[in-house]
Amino acid sequence: MYDIIIIGGGPAGLTAALYALRANKSVLVIEKAAFGGQITFSPKVENIPGLPALSGNDFAAALVDQVLELGAELEPAEVTGLKTDGGVKTVVTDDGDYSAKAVIIATGARHRRLGVPGEEELIGSGISFCAVCDGAFYQGKRVGVVGGGNSALQEALLLSDLAEKVMVIQNLDFLTGEKKLCDALSERKNVEVILGHTVAGFMGEGSLSGVVIENASGEKREVPLEGLFVAIGLLPQNEIFSDIIELDPAGYAKSGENCLTAAEGIFVAGDCRTKNVRQVTTAAADGAVAALAACAYIDGR
Catalytic residue set: 130, 133-134
The CB density around residue 207, as the number of other CB atoms within 10 Å, is 12
Start-to-end CA span in the chain (Å): 20
For 155-173, the DSSP string reads HHHHHHTT-SEEEEE-SSS
Contacts 24+ apart (CB under 8 A), 44-51: 44/134, 44/137, 45/133, 45/280, 46/136, 47/132, 47/133, 47/279, 47/280, 47/281, 48/280, 48/281, 49/281
Alpha helices, DSSP H only, in the chain? Answer: 11-22, 56-69, 119-122, 131-134, 150-160, 179-186, 280-298
Q: How far apart are CA 123 and CA 32, in angstroms?
A: 19
